[in-house]
Structure 1
Amino acid sequence: MNPPSPHTAPHGAHPVHEHEHEHEHEHEHNAGDQTEILDLDAEVLAEHLASITAWLPIGTGPRHIVDLGCGTGAGTLALLERFPEAELTAVDLSSAHLNRLREKAAAAGAADRVRIVRADLDTTAWPELGTPELVWASASMHHMPDPDRTLRQVHDLLAPGGLFAVVELAGFPRFLPEDAPQDAPGLEERCHAALDHHHAEQVPHRGADWGTKLTKAGFTVEGERTVAVDIGPPRTDAAGRYALSGLRRMRGGVASALTTEDLAALDRLLDTGGPHSILRRIDLSVRTERTVWAARRT
Structure 2
Amino acid sequence: MTQAHQHTSHGDIGHHGHGHGGGHGGTQQDGDSGQAEILELDAEVLAEHIASITAWLPLKVEPRQIVDLGCGTGAGTFALLERFPEAHVTAVDASAGHLQFLREKACARGVSDRVRTVQTDLDTSRWPDLGTPDLVWASASMHHMAHPDRALRSVHELLAPSGMFAVVELDGFPRFLPADAPEGRPGLEERAHKATDSFHAEHVPHRGADWGPMLAAAGFDVQDERTITVNIAGNRSEAVGRYAHGSLQRIRGAAAPMLSPEDLAALDELLDVNSPHCVLHRDDLAVRTERTVWAAHRS
TM-score by length of 2: 0.90
1:193-232 map, 5 Å: 193-232=194-233
Q: 1:221 Cα shift?
A: 0.1
Q: Deviations over 1:82-104 (max 9, x none)?
A: 11000110000001111111121
Q: 1:118 Cα shift?
A: 0.6
AA matched with 2:79: A
What is residue 2 of structure 1 aligned with on the other side?
6
What is residue 149 of structure 2 aligned with on the other side?
148
What is residue 163 of structure 2 aligned with on the other side?
162
What is residue 136 of structure 1 aligned with on the other side?
137
What is residue 180 of structure 1 aligned with on the other side?
181
Give the conservation status (yes or no) of the 8 Å contact 1:235–1:283: no
Query: What is the alpha-carbon distance in structure 2 between the residues aligned to residue 258 and residue 170 of structure 1?
Result: 22
AA matched with 2:71: C
AA matched with 2:149: D
Q: 1:60 Cα shift?
A: 2.0
Whether 1:98 aligns to 2:99 is yes
What is residue 50 of structure 2 aligned with on the other side?
49
Change (3 A) 1:122 1:43: same
Q: Deviations over 1:87-129 (max 9, x none)?
A: 1100000011111111211122111100011111110011010
What is residue 275 of structure 1 aligned with on the other side?
276
Query: What is the alpha-carbon distance in structure 2 between the residues aligned to residue 184 and residue 226 of structure 1?
Result: 32
Give the conservation status (yes or no) of the 8 Å contact 1:136–1:164: yes
What is residue 189 of structure 1 aligned with on the other side?
190
Query: What is the alpha-carbon distance in structure 1 between the residues aligned to residue 227 and residue 163 of structure 2?
Result: 22
AA matched with 1:136: W
Whether 1:285 aligns to 2:278 is no
What is residue 38 of structure 1 aligned with on the other side?
39
Query: What is the alpha-carbon distance in structure 2 between the residues aligned to residue 25 and residue 133 of structure 1?
Result: 28
Query: What is the alpha-carbon distance in structure 1 between the residues aligned to residue 32 and residue 213 of structure 2?
Result: 30
Give the conservation status (yes or no) of the 8 Å contact 2:228–2:292: yes
Give the conservation status (yes or no) of the 8 Å contact 1:167–1:293: yes
Unmatched tracts of structure 2, length 5 or more: 8-16, 23-27
AA matched with 2:61: T
SS of the residue 1:222 aligns to: strand
AA matched with 1:50: A
Aligned length: 280
What is residue 12 of structure 2 aligned with on the other side?
none
Q: 1:197 Cα shift?
A: 2.8
Give the conservation status (yes or no) of the 8 Å contact 2:140–2:168: yes
AA matched with 2:6: N
**Percent identity between the two aligned chains:** 66
TM-score by length of 1: 0.91
Cα RMSD of the aligned pairs, angstroms, is 1.6
- Structure 1 runs of 4+ aligned residues shifted over 3 Å read 22-32
AA matched with 1:246: S
